Chain A
C-alpha cells in the first residue's frame, strides 16, 4: 500500500480481555516496528522485526504482550489479559532496507481498556 496501515483505529475493551492489533507495512519494507505512546508521552519502542523474526523484543513490557509477523509482511500485536494501564496508542512503523533509514509510521491504534 501507499503507507503503513493499522487496524482497528480505535478499540475499546474491558479489563481482562484479549486484543489483537494489526499492522500492514509499506510494500517491500523488510523492517517493522511497534511503539506504544501513552497520553502526554513520546512513543516507546516495543519490538522490531527483520523479516519474519523478532530481532529485538526487549521493549515488550511483560509476557502479556506478544507480536508475530509470520510471512514477513503483516504483523499482529497481541495483548492478553488487558489492564487499564495498557490504554495507549499503539504505533507501527516500517523501514526500507536501503535508504536513509527513515521510519514510516502509521496513524496508530488507540486502545482503551475500561
Chain B
C-alpha cells in the first residue's frame, strides 16, 4: 500500500523559516499537495505542484519537488504564530481515482513567539 512519510514535529521561532519534508511513494504521481489542519477545523489546501515542475512559489510558500528521490518539501518564509498547525503531504498516484489522496501522518508545526 501507499505510505507517505513525514517527520511528526517541527518547532521554529517566529520570523524564522520552516521547512517541512515529505517522502512519497509513487514516482509517477501526477499531483502532490500540501494541506493545513488547524485544531477543530477541516483540511485546507495550501498549495499543490504538478509532477512536471521542480518548484512552485506562492507568497510565503515555496514547494520543491525532487522526483528522482521522491522528495517534496514545503518552506514557509517568515513563519508566524498563526502558521502553527498540522501540515499534511498528499499524493495521487498515477492511475488512482481523481481526488483519492494518500496522506502522510502530518507534521505538527509549533511557532514560538
Q: A residues within 8 Å of B by Cβ?
A: 4, 31, 33, 35, 40-45, 48, 55-56, 59, 91, 93, 95, 100-103, 105-108
User: Judging by beta carbons under 8 Å apart, are B41 and A103 in contact?
Assistant: no
Q: In this complex, what residue of A is CB-closest to B103? A: A42
User: Judging by beta carbons under 8 Å apart, are B104 and A42 in contact?
Assistant: yes
Q: Residue B90 at the A interface, CB < 8 A?
A: yes
Distance between Cα atoms of A69 and B99 in the complex (Å): 17
Of the residues A42, A48, A107, contact of B42 by C-beta under 8 Å = A107
CB proximity of B59 to chain A, nearest CB, Å: 17
Contact flag A102-B45 (CB < 8 Å), given A40-B105, A44-B103 = yes
CB proximity of A19 to chain B, nearest CB, Å: 20
Name 18 extra pairs, CB < 8 A, besides A93-B43, A105-B43. Answer: A33-B99, A33-B100, A41-B105, A42-B4, A42-B103, A43-B43, A43-B103, A45-B102, A48-B97, A91-B42, A93-B99, A95-B98, A101-B31, A101-B99, A102-B48, A103-B99, A107-B40, A107-B42
Distance between Cα atoms of A105 and B36 in the complex (Å): 11
Which residues does chain B contribute within 8 Å of A41, judged by CB atoms? 105-106
CB proximity of B108 to chain A, nearest CB, Å: 10
Contact flag A107-B41 (CB < 8 Å), given A42-B4, A42-B90, A100-B48 = yes
CB proximity of A106 to chain B, nearest CB, Å: 5
Chain B contributes a number of interface residues (CB within 8 A of A) equal to 21
Q: Is the interface of B mostly helix, strand, loop or mixed?
A: loop
Which residues does chain B contribute within 8 Å of A35, judged by CB atoms? 101
CB proximity of B91 to chain A, nearest CB, Å: 11
Distance between Cα atoms of A31 and B99 in the complex (Å): 9
Distance between Cα atoms of A89 and B79 in the complex (Å): 28
Chain B positions 58-113 with a Cβ under 8 Å from a chain A Cβ? 88, 90, 97-106
Going nearest first, the 9 A-B pairs with the smallest beta carbon separation are A42-B103, A105-B42, A105-B43, A56-B97, A107-B42, A45-B100, A102-B45, A43-B103, A42-B105
